[in-house]
């Protein structure tokens, strides 16, 4: 029972963060701030959501698989973000304005 | 509750798609694709759980892995482009 | 016991040989291996053709699963005839065309090339042997992809845009076919063609079936290069390696027509009544237009291979015209024309491949005077051309004769159709005459002046093929028997 | 409720497809294509096609994107403005096709109708007989590698053909870089420490996961195609991280050709073995004393052949593109 | 509800049209291949949609003793095959496009045609 409540709270928070991150990725002004918002969904949203499901599934193979998924996402998400930011920053050398003005970048 | 989470994920997918459509830089689009990928992982995990077939979590795992390799392939692509661009 | 396994041997032989050919780079080895595998398939196809004349259909359950649960191979007289065309054309082209292939295909590519060749043969044989709608799609893709590779394998950069266009249109055609069989599957629940035939009778909501007829017809017409969906064909034929042209001109479009006829007469016909609309209203006008327009283009075309490619489009028109008459004699004419045209066109393109080992360009101006330097090659070309025109005594005459007979039986439009056949034959005389005029011109081009006749073994292969056109003109027994059994089999559903 | 989620995904699918066609930047189109594939895969998953969803993700979103990027690196990303291109022909063709399809939909059974003809005939037999005849729980695997194994053979031939074709077509013209002994243009992500370390850490897991899918295909979603694609992705990841030369070094071209052809040969050999042992082509029942064990053995071998060929072909295709330099 | 049940088929139709339009109307060869990809995916959707059964689950039998409703496995098998056919075609097409770009210096259809005319 208590587990149910906790898991529902986790799921609700997860849903909230996933949504807020998505909103941020859409609304924020430039690439780097959007990246910040996107990583919110990737980290907090994922942990909370998958955590909520894990509590629901109890100790089973499903939980192990969920933990594996979580592990992979935790490994890959930040790496991908880093690599992306790095590429965007490097691209400043040749063509694109990598650190765009506050109004947004250029295509 | 699952439905709420699923709805949130779907809305976020739509938002990410919008970001991928409007850009403006290519990096924004890559960001959106990556975000879209992780949301798909979450979606599949939840639906697998909802439909009572937790053995399908394998799919979510596969998506997570592929998504990562996809982003790295994009970076390699940028790097290659820059390399070739500089030479010519 | 082993005869029962013949269908499996013919469908599995070439594909199993292909990976072996691809594994070992080596100039002549892979050629010899491919030729051997192809000749072996031809021998098996012969045995199957003999066996197929005795029964209506040979059925073979792959994996021993009973149809419709497993995949059935179903070999009729019609498929046996096509199998003979495919394996025969492949063998003759490989054996006769070695010198040409050696000059066209870079050594580093050869083992891949011969593997792709075997896959193309395997795919085409797989289509005609199969009794399962989806299986036909899979092998259609095997043969198509392999054919694209064969076309692009030469050194001519112009082949690349041509093959890209072919790839796009071929994929659209195959996908249309896939949609069509999906719709039939949706309404009948089966993929086995024979099972489909019976179950389609019980379908009450016919709209998806009508749409399926549309998609299957459109897709296959596209793949078969029927006018006006032929736009991929001339360039694909013209710029591919010459021996490849000889092979694909002989069989690949005909296999698509085979599938089209199989569907129209066996699967759809039974339940949908005559559906004259599709034939009389759609295919027949296309066939007539195709015959006339393509022949006219061939008359003005300056490039030898493109001219013959347009001639092929006209000939495809004959086959479709024969089928669209929906009578035993019409279908017999169309089907036997598949055989006769494959023989004639294959020989002509092989002769061109021989000419191309001596010349770099193949416009009519470039071949000026070549007939004086290479009389035997051009002689064989002319014998085959006579069959293409349909002179009495050649195989081409047999098919045109039957076509005219069938047209006359078909009532009011018959006379008009006879006129079309006659006019287009005259047009063929004209464009062949242009070749003759150029080849025996008294002012030879620079290259042609120094050309020598090809070696005797090559000529022997070429003349075998050319004389076959005469032989089957005088003794049309076997192809005619197979065609007639195919026609009665196809039309059997109507009675 | 899940159906409603399906509608949302389908709508997003249409939006993405339109965007792919409209955008003038090919790189963006490829990125959107990867989203499209993910959406398609999620849709398949909602429609109960777990195996297909896995394949679509691994092949559509994974390998297909990588191949497109590999090709795009060799050419410009901008689509030229098209002036004076005729519009009526495409529109006419499309209108005709649309009319046919829409006409056809009217009598179609609705989505999920259990009384639809598709669910009455052949399919129930598969669902009933698979546990009895093969003792395999994944019916998709049983049909793929068992009842309709001949289709799958054709399939392996298609992918073998594509592999041979890509190698043949890209074999001439420019010699590939590694053979020239020059420093390869593609150094990979060697200078990026974090992706490199994390990526290297993941490769064993990816390959292991692929093997799991290969051998678990009888019981859960998975099988030769999925496994082959995932393992290929793992090997490609190595090449991405360490550069082309290093990627080539672990699996040189002859080995890749050996894999491509070896898988197909294995498949054919299983087929012929059935014939030699007195059954029909691809008859597995005769492979072992007990027919059920024979079926399982046959399925295992055939799936292994599929996996090997798919891995070899996809990696070979990747290298064929990655190994080139753009034309001047 | 009858028409809701056909929504999948409508999306199939739309995707088919979008893909076909790109293949025919776009001059860029890579764009054509992307269109072809969409076009083929549409057909996948058609097949998978027809396999769905209400209340069904993926055709992987968990417990043979309790009755379960399964979706139709056959279209899944067919589409697995078709997906691989799709990527094979695309890979081959891309290889050809790369060679065209090397020989012609462009991947726009009309420019290629113009260059062919000059030869």
The candidate with the shortest Cα–Cα distance to C24, out of D261, D267, D180, is D261
Q: What is the pLDDT of residue A103?
A: 45
How far apart are alpha carbons A36 and A82 in whole angstroms? 11
Q: What is the pLDDT of residue B44?
A: 87
Say which residue, D65 or A94, is predicted with more confidence. Answer: D65
Q: What is the pLDDT of residue C368?
A: 79
On the question of pLDDT at A102 being above 60, the answer is no
pLDDT in tens, A44-61: 888 888 888 888 877 777
Chain E residues whose beta carbon lies within 8 Å of the beta carbon of residue D40? 41, 44-45
Q: Is the dihedral of CA C240, C246, C249, C255 positive or negative?
A: negative
Whether E57 and B56 lie within 8 Å, measured CB to CB: no
Whether B84 and D185 lie within 8 Å, measured CB to CB: yes
Q: What is the pLDDT of residue E41?
A: 92
Q: Is some CB atom of chain C closer than 8 A to the CB atom of E17? A: no
Whether D139 and E94 lie within 8 Å, measured CB to CB: no
User: Which of B15, B68, B86 is opposite residue A80, by nearest beta carbon?
Assistant: B68
**Mean pLDDT confidence for C185-189:** 85
How far apart are alpha carbons E47 and D23 in whole angstroms? 29
Q: Tell me the HSE value of D283 on the side-chain side, using a 13 A CA sphere.
A: 20
User: Which of E89, E94, E108 is opposite residue D71, by nearest beta carbon?
Assistant: E94
On the question of pLDDT at E9 being above 70, the answer is yes
DSSP letter, residue C440 = T
How far apart are alpha carbons C69 and C131 in whole angstroms? 12
Output the six-digit token pair for A2.
Answer: 């208590």
**Mean pLDDT confidence for C109-126:** 90
pLDDT in tens, D226-285: 899 999 999 999 888 888 778 788 888 888 888 999 999 999 999 888 888 888 888 888
Q: Is the dihedral of CA C187, C188, C189, C193 positive or negative?
A: negative
* Weakest mean pLDDT among C82-91, C294-303, D80-89: D80-89
Q: What is the pLDDT of residue E82?
A: 92
User: Which of C157, C172, C191 is opposite residue E23, by nearest beta carbon?
Assistant: C172
* Whole-number percent of chain E with pLDDT over 70: 90
Q: What is the pLDDT of residue D67?
A: 92
- How far is the alpha carbon of E3 from chain B, nearest alpha carbon, in Å? 23
Q: Is some CB atom of chain A closer than 8 A to the CB atom of B61? A: yes
How far apart are alpha carbons E116 and C239 in whole angstroms? 12
**Mean pLDDT confidence for C199-206:** 77
Please give the span between the terminal C-alpha atoms of chain A, in angstroms, as a whole number.
Answer: 52
The continuous run of DSSP H or E covering C93 comes out as helix C77-96
Q: What is the pLDDT of residue D186?
A: 60
User: Which of B6, B66, B77 is opposite residue D69, by nearest beta carbon?
Assistant: B77
Output the six-digit token pair for D257.
Answer: 């050709």
Q: What is the pLDDT of residue A99?
A: 47
Q: What is the DSSP string of C97-148?
A: THHHHHHHS-GGGHHHHHHHHHHHHHHHHHHHHB-BHHHHHHHHHHHHHHHH
Q: What is the pLDDT of residue C137?
A: 94
Q: If pLDDT is split at 50, 70 and 90, which confidence band does D160 have?
A: very high
Whether D327 and E45 lie within 8 Å, measured CB to CB: no
DSSP letter, residue D8 = H
Q: What is the pLDDT of residue C76?
A: 85
Phi and psi angles of residue D44, each rounded to the nearest 5 degrees, phi first: -60, -40
Specify which residues C60 forms β-bridges with.
C73
User: Which of D25, D192, D205 is opposite residue A83, by nearest beta carbon?
Assistant: D192
Q: How far is CA A27 from CA A100, B14, B27, B36, in A?
A: 15, 13, 16, 16
DSSP letter, residue D120 = T
How far apart are alpha carbons A51 and A38 in whole angstroms? 19
Specify which residues C75 forms β-bridges with.
C58
Burial label for C204, CB within 10 Å (0-12, 13-18, 19+), is exposed
Spatial CB neighbours of C180, under 8 Å, sequence gap ≥ 6: C211, C212, C213, C214, C215, C216, C219
Residues of A near D (Cβ–Cβ under 8 Å) read: 72, 75-76, 79, 82-83, 86, 107
Q: What is the pLDDT of residue C484?
A: 84
Helices (H) and strands (E) in chain A, counts: 4, 0
pLDDT in tens, C367-402: 877 878 888 888 888 899 988 888 888 888 888 888
The candidate with the shortest Cα–Cα distance to C117, out of C84, C83, C141, C153, is C153
Q: What is the DSSP string of B16-80?
A: HHHHHHH-SSHHHHHHHHHHHHHHHHHHHHHHHHHTT-GGGHHHHHHHHHHHHHHHHHHHHHHHH
C207 → chain D, closest CA residue: D104
D295 → chain C, closest CA residue: C63
Helices (H) and strands (E) in chain C, counts: 23, 2
On the question of pLDDT at C166 being above 80, the answer is yes
Q: What is the pLDDT of residue C144?
A: 93
Are the beta carbons of E15 and C148 closer than 8 angstroms? no
**Mean pLDDT confidence for C20-37:** 80
Output the six-digit token pair for D215.
Answer: 């051998």
Q: If pLDDT is split at 50, 70 and 90, which confidence band does E89 have?
A: very high
Q: If pLDDT is split at 50, 70 and 90, which confidence band does C275 have?
A: low
Residues in chain A: 107
Q: What is the mean pLDDT of chain D?
A: 83
pLDDT in tens, E79-88: 999 999 999 9
Tell which C residues from 313 to 372 touch D, by Cβ distance under 8 Å: none
Are chains C and B touching, using the cut-off of 8 Å on CB pairs and a minimum of 3 such pairs? no
**Mean pLDDT confidence for D50-56:** 88
Contacting subunits of C (3+ beta carbon pairs below 8 A) = D, E
Whether D121 and C68 lie within 8 Å, measured CB to CB: yes
Q: What was the ipTM of the complex prediction?
A: 0.91
On the question of pLDDT at C419 being above 50, the answer is yes
DSSP letter, residue D109 = P
Say which residue, D159 or C187, is predicted with more confidence. Answer: D159
The candidate with the shortest Cα–Cα distance to D18, out of D39, D7, D32, is D32
The continuous run of DSSP H or E covering C314 comes out as helix C304-324
* Predicted TM-score of the model (pTM): 0.92
C304-324 helix and C412-439 helix, angle to the nearest 10 degrees: 160
Whether A76 and D192 lie within 8 Å, measured CB to CB: no
- Best of E35, E50, E92 to disrupt the C interface (most C CBs within 10 Å) is E92
* Whole-number percent of chain E with pLDDT over 90: 29
How far apart are alpha carbons C470 and C254 in whole angstroms? 21
The candidate with the shortest Cα–Cα distance to D312, out of D92, D122, D175, D163, is D163
Chain A residues whose beta carbon lies within 8 Å of the beta carbon of residue B19? 25-26, 34
Q: What is the pLDDT of residue E93?
A: 94
Q: What is the pLDDT of residue C448?
A: 72
How far apart are alpha carbons C91 and C95 in whole angstroms? 6
**Mean pLDDT confidence for D277-302:** 85
How far apart are alpha carbons B34 and B64 in whole angstroms? 10
On the question of pLDDT at D324 being above 90, the answer is no
User: Which of D25, D198, D205 is opposite residue A79, by nearest beta carbon?
Assistant: D198
Chain E residues whose beta carbon lies within 8 Å of the beta carbon of residue C152? 96, 99
The candidate with the shortest Cα–Cα distance to C233, out of C277, C157, C322, C173, is C173
Top-confidence range, C122-136, C187-201, D181-195: C122-136
Are chains A and C touching, using the cut-off of 8 Å on CB pairs and a minimum of 3 such pairs? no
Are the beta carbons of D70 and D16 closer than 8 angstroms? no
C213 → chain D, closest CA residue: D100
Whether B70 and D34 lie within 8 Å, measured CB to CB: yes
Q: If pLDDT is split at 50, 70 and 90, which confidence band does A100 have?
A: very low
Whether D101 and C211 lie within 8 Å, measured CB to CB: yes
- How far is the alpha carbon of A2 from chain B, nearest alpha carbon, in Å? 15
Q: What is the pLDDT of residue A104?
A: 41
- Best of E54, E55, E56, E58 to disrupt the B interface (most B CBs within 10 Å) is E58
pLDDT in tens, C45-84: 988 888 877 777 888 888 888 888 888 888 888 888 899 9
Chain B residues whose beta carbon lies within 8 Å of the beta carbon of residue D25? 26
Pairing of strands C57-61, C72-76: antiparallel
Whether B75 and A22 lie within 8 Å, measured CB to CB: no
Contacting subunits of B (3+ beta carbon pairs below 8 A) = A, D, E
User: Which of C138, C163, C171 is opposite residue E36, by nearest beta carbon?
Assistant: C171
**Mean pLDDT confidence for D16-24:** 89
D49 → chain B, closest CA residue: B56
pLDDT in tens, C306-347: 888 999 999 998 888 888 887 888 888 888 898 899 989 999
On the question of pLDDT at C301 being above 70, the answer is yes
Output the six-digit token pair for C223.
Answer: 């793949």
Q: What is the pLDDT of residue D183?
A: 47
Chain B residues whose beta carbon lies within 8 Å of the beta carbon of residue A66? 45, 57
Chain D residues whose beta carbon lies within 8 Å of the beta carbon of residue B85? none
Are the beta carbons of D161 and C142 closer than 8 angstroms? yes
Q: If pLDDT is split at 50, 70 and 90, which confidence band does A93 have?
A: low
């Amino acid at each position: 029972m208590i587990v149910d409540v906790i898991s529902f709270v986790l799921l609700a928070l997860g849903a909230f963060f996933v949504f807020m991150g998505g909103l941020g990725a859409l609304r924020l002004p430039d690439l780097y701030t959007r990246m910040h918002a996107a990583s919110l969904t990737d980290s907090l949203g994922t942990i909370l959501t998958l955590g909520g499901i894990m509590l629901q599934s109890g100790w089973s193979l499903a939980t192990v698989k969920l933990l594996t998924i979580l592990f992979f996402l935790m490994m890959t998400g930040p790496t991908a973000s880093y690599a992306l930011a790095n590429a965007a920053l490097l691209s400043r050398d040749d063509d694109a304005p990598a650190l765009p003005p506050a109004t947004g970048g250029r295509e | 509750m699952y439905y709420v989470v699923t709805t949130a994920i779907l809305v976020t997918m739509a938002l990410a798609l919008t970001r991928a459509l409007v850009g403006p830089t290519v990096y924004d689009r890559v960001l959106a694709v990556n975000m879209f990928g992780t949301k798909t992982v979450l979606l599949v995990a939840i639906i697998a759980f909802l439909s009572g077939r937790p053995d399908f979590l394998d799919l979510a795992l596969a998506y997570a892995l592929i998504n990562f390799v996809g982003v790295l392939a994009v970076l390699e692509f940028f790097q290659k482009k820059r390399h070739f661009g500089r030479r010519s | 016991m082993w005869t029962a396994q013949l269908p499996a041997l013919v469908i599995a032989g070439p594909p199993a040989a292909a990976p072996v050919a691809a594994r070992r780079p080596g100039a002549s080895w892979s050629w010899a291996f491919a030729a051997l595998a192809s000749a072996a398939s031809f021998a098996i196809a012969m045995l199957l053709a003999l066996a197929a004349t005795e029964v209506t259909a040979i059925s073979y359950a792959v994996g021993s699963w009973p149809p419709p649960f497993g995949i059935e191979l179903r070999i009729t007289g019609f498929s046996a005839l096509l199998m003979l065309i495919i394996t025969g054309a492949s063998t003759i082209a490989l054996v006769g065309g070695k010198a040409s292939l050696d000059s066209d295909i870079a050594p580093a590519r050869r083992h891949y090339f011969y593997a792709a060749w075997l896959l193309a043969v395997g795919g085409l044989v797989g289509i005609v042997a199969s009794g399962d709608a989806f299986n036909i799609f899979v092998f259609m893709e095997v043969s198509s992809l392999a054919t694209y590779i064969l076309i692009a394998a030469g050194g001519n950069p112009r082949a690349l845009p041509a093959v890209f266009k072919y790839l796009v249109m071929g994929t659209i055609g195959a996908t249309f076919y896939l949609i069509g069989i999906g719709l039939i599957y949706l309404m009948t629940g089966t993929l086995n063609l024979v099972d489909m035939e019976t179950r389609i009778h019980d379908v009450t909501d016919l709209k998806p079936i009508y749409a399926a007829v549309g998609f299957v017809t459109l897709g296959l017409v596209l793949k078969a290069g029927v006018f006006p969906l032929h736009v991929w064909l001339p360039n694909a034929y013209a710029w591919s390696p010459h021996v490849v042209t000889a092979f694909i001109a002989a069989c690949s479009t005909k296999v698509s027509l085979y599938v089209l006829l199989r569907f129209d007469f066996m699967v759809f016909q039974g339940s949908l009544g005559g559906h004259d609309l599709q034939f009389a209203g759609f295919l027949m006008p296309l066939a007539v237009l195709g015959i006339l327009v393509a022949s006219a283009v061939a008359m003005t075309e300056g490039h030898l291979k493109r001219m013959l490619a347009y001639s092929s489009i006209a000939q495809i028109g004959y086959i479709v015209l024969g089928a669209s008459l929906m009578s035993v004699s019409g279908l017999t004419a169309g089907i036997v024309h598949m055989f006769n045209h494959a023989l004639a066109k294959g020989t002509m393109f092989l002769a061109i491949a021989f000419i191309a080992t001596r010349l770099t360009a193949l416009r009519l101006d470039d071949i000026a005077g070549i007939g004086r330097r290479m009389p035997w090659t051009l002689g064989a070309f002319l014998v085959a051309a006579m069959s293409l025109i349909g002179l009495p005594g050649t195989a081409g005459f047999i098919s045109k004769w039957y076509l005219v007979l069938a047209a006359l039986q078909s009532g009011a439009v018959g006379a008009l159709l006879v006129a079309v056949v006659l006019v287009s034959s005259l047009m063929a005389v004209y464009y062949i005459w242009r070749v003759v005029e150029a080849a025996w011109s008294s002012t030879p081009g620079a290259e042609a002046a120094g050309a020598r006749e090809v070696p005797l073994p090559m000529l022997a292969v070429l003349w075998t093929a050319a004389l076959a056109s005469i032989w089957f003109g005088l003794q049309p027994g076997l192809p005619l028997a197979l065609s007639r059994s195919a026609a009665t089999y196809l039309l059997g559903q109507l009675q | 409720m899940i159906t409603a989620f399906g509608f949302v995904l389908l709508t997003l699918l249409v939006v993405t497809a339109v965007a792919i066609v409209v955008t003038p930047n090919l790189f963006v189109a490829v990125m959107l294509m990867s989203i499209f594939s993910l959406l398609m895969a999620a849709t398949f998953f909602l429609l109960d096609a777990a195996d297909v969803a896995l394949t679509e993700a691994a092949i559509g979103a994974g390998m297909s994107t990588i191949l497109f990027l590999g090709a795009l690196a060799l050419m410009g990303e901008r689509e030229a403005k098209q002036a004076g291109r005729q519009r009526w022909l495409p529109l006419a063709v499309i209108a005709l096709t649309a009319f046919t399809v829409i006409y056809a939909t009217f009598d179609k059974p609705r989505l999920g109708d259990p009384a639809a003809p598709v669910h009455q005939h052949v399919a129930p037999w598969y669902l009933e007989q698979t546990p009895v005849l093969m003792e395999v729980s994944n019916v998709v695997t049983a049909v793929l590698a068992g009842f309709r194994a001949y289709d799958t053979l054709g399939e392996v031939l298609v992918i073998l053909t594509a592999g041979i074709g890509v190698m043949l077509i890209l074999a001439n013209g420019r010699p590939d870089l590694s053979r020239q002994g020059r420093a390869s243009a593609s150094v990979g992500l060697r200078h990026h420490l974090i992706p490199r370390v994390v990526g290297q850490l993941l490769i064993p897991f990816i390959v292991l996961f692929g093997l799991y899918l290969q051998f678990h295909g009888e019981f859960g979603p998975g099988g030769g195609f999925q496994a082959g694609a995932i393992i290929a992705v793992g090997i490609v990841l190595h090449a991405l991280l360490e550069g082309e030369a290093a990627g080539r070094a672990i699996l040189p071209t002859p080995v890749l050709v050996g894999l491509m052809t070896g898988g197909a040969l294995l498949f054919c050999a299983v087929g012929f073995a059935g014939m030699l042992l007195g059954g029909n082509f691809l008859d597995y029942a005769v492979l072992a004393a007990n027919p059920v064990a024979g079926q399982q053995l046959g399925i295992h071998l055939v799936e292994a052949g599929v996996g090997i060929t798919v891995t070899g072909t996809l990696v070979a295709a990747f290298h064929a593109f990655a190994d080139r330099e753009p034309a001047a | 509800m009858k028409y809701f049940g056909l929504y999948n088929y409508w999306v199939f139709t739309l995707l088919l049209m979008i893909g076909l339009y790109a293949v025919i109307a776009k001059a860029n060869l890579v764009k054509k291949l992307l269109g072809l990809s969409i076009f083929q995916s549409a057909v996948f959707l058609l097949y998978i949609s027809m396999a769905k059964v209400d209340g069904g689950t993926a055709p992987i039998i968990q417990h043979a003793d309790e009755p379960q409703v399964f979706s139709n496995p056959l279209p899944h098998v067919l589409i697995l095959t078709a997906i691989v056919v799709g990527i094979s075609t695309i890979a081959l097409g891309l290889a050809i496009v790369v060679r065209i770009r090397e020989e012609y210096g462009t991947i726009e259809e009309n420019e290629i045609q113009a260059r062919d005319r000059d030869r």
